[in-house]
Amino acid sequence: MTVARTELALTAIRTWVGFGLMCLGMFMAILDVQVVATSLPTIQNALAISPEAMSWIQTSYLIAEVIAIPLTGWLTRTLSMRWLFAAAIAFFTLASIGCAASDSFAMLVSFRVVQGFAGGTLIPSVFAAVFILFRPRTQGIATTIAGIMAVLAPTGGPVVGGWITQVYSWHWLFLINVVPGLIACVVAPTLLPREDTNFEGATLDGLSLFLMAAALACLEVGLKQAPRDGWFSSICISLFSLSALTGGFFVWRTLRAAHPIVQLSTFKDRSFAIGCVLSFCLGVGLFGSVYLMPVFLAFVRGHDALEIGSTMLVTGVAQLAIAPLAVALERRIDARVLTGLGFALFALALGLSTFETRDTDFSEMFWPQVIRGVAIMFCLLPPTRLALGALSEAEVPDASGLFNLMRNLGGAIGIALIDTILYGRTSIHADALRGRLLAGDMTTAKAIGLDPRLFASGLSGSLTPNAEAYVRPMIEKAAFVLSVNDAWAMLAAFALLGVLLVPLAWRAEQASAIAIKAN
């Protein structure tokens, strides 16, 4: 009996350590996006990349990642969970070395594609492992660990990227992945449960894969171009139409396939479907806020990458602080109650950020960040259990891929909407501010930072060329702040949508209970 208990304890320890290494791999993949985004200008100057092409360093990674995420289920069935993780972290590490060694734009983008595809499989694999490796009573702890790693990476990315760029060189943005990647690649397969591969039974529908890749790639590129070129420009309409066409054909073909590459039938489970929409809403707010804060702090406050990262660490600290309470509440309170509370707090925090001014800085951002950090934990963990907790072990890998895909798509759409607001609303606000200045509005003069005595002495009524040149930067900065506040309001609206969706999860639970009783 003692020997048996010792073996069980050792197995549990091995499983937890293996899971921890999987979480480390996921953390590296998510962090990589943020640290590189912080240092894009440095990479651009080093490799002489044109401003128009610079964004493809990120876009190439994100397109490959979003294609890989839904494929995780098929890859898990084919390779097994442990060998999929080993292969993914190995390719991710090798691609990181390739990125660091790149001496041209084409070489860097090629390795970023490999990095993105490998990193894309790491994220859903971790959330699937929560429900495959652990019993229900320990799933809350595992989900919390995975959740903390998933949300800390975007929060801590700017400060890590800024510090590396200032202290070392841009090459180390990629080389920091090598040592942890090698450790995870070598050690994790020895700790994770041994499963047989299934190459003989693996059937890859090449046409479906092509259709899915085309649909997601066109959507990503369209979202990237829409804020600059216009949502109804010819290029964007073409990309979105092609995405819809190939996506629709992919869904039609996949639902009728004997061996689909993605199990879309999982959406028939209403709790899973609602959980995916909640994941989408979280993606809009999470990735949107992580994108919007650096934009404000850089363009309005003039902070560098390290200062921006230090300010944003507040959210990460709040997430770490609330984690033990989140685990305890997960065990005692219904997931739907916690989800509703989380999205309500998320909406409140995002709403508080809509009152920023040109003087807003660390102290004014502190409490909205704290509330947002607390809220994010309850917007991620309970919905994950709601979406995946009731599924069978065979369904979880595909479902986890779709669940995480929705969060990434939410982030992509949220950032595109933010850019659309910033590009479109700033000029409107600037015209309105200029009109109020010409009308002699002293409140507007103070709001843009204009000395009231100077304003009273002759800037009202009309603007001379010299006065126009003096006032224009003030107006543009104030208008940009108002546009940022509009973007915060849009993010808060998506969080409120999450609150409104929670009652539907109750109905889904009731429907499931009725179905069980009927059987």
Cα gap 489→484, rounded to integer Å: 9
pLDDT tens-place string over residues 265-280: 889 888 899 999 999 9
CB count within 10 Å of CB 353 equals 25
| Cβ proximity of 144 and 326 under 8 Å | yes
Confidence of residue 258 (pLDDT cuts 50, 70, 90): confident
| Cβ proximity of 293 and 304 under 8 Å | no
Tokens of residue 456, six digits: 């009273």
Residues of the chain with pLDDT > 70: what percent? 90
Rounded mean pLDDT, 344-351: 97
Decide which of 152 and 430 is more confident. 430
HSE-CB at 389 with a 13 A cutoff on CA atoms is 21
Q: SS3 for 264-311, per residue?
A: HHHHHCHHHHHHHHHHHHHHHHHHHHHHHHHHHHHHCCCCCHHHHHHH
CB count within 10 Å of CB 307 equals 18
Model pLDDT, residue 326: 85
Rounded mean pLDDT, 395-399: 88
The sign of the dihedral angle between the CA atoms of 122, 316, 478, 307 is negative
| Cβ proximity of 375 and 319 under 8 Å | no
Give the least confident one: 323-327, 394-398, 506-510. 506-510
Cα gap 509→271, rounded to integer Å: 7
Q: Give the chain's end-to-end CA distance (angstroms, integer).
A: 40
Residue 376 has pLDDT above 70, yes or no: yes
Query: Residue 345, class by beta-carbon neighbours within 10 Å (0-12 exposed, 13-18 middle, 19+ buried)?
Result: buried
CB count within 10 Å of CB 264 equals 16
Residue of 408, 381, 384 lying closest to 396 (CA atoms): 384
Model pLDDT, residue 490: 97
| Cβ proximity of 446 and 452 under 8 Å | yes
Within 24-159, strands assigned E span none
DSSP state of 39: T
Query: Residue 289, class by beta-carbon neighbours within 10 Å (0-12 exposed, 13-18 middle, 19+ buried)?
Result: buried
Q: Which of 27-36, 169-178, 510-519 is modeled with the greatest confidence?
A: 169-178
Residue 440 has pLDDT above 80, yes or no: no
Tokens of residue 16, six digits: 């937890």
Model pLDDT, residue 519: 40
pLDDT tens-place string over residues 69-125: 999 888 988 888 889 999 999 999 999 999 999 988 899 999 999 999 999 999 899
Confidence of residue 178 (pLDDT cuts 50, 70, 90): very high
User: What are the C-alpha distances in Å from 433 to residues 318, 444, 462, 472?
Assistant: 37, 7, 13, 10
Helix runs in 168-205, H state only: 172-175, 178-191
The sign of the dihedral angle between the CA atoms of 251, 132, 135, 333 is negative
pLDDT tens-place string over residues 443-481: 777 778 777 666 555 555 556 667 667 778 888 899 999
Model pLDDT, residue 1: 47
Residue 429 has pLDDT above 80, yes or no: yes
Model pLDDT, residue 463: 61
Going by C-beta distance under 8 Å and a sequence separation of 6 or more, which residues neighbour residue 426? 476, 479, 480, 482, 483
Cα gap 94→343, rounded to integer Å: 39
Residue 313 has pLDDT above 90, yes or no: no
Model pLDDT, residue 513: 42
Residue 39 has pLDDT above 80, yes or no: no
Residue 516 has pLDDT above 50, yes or no: no
Q: Which of 48-52, 160-164, 303-307, 404-408 is modeled with the greatest confidence?
A: 404-408
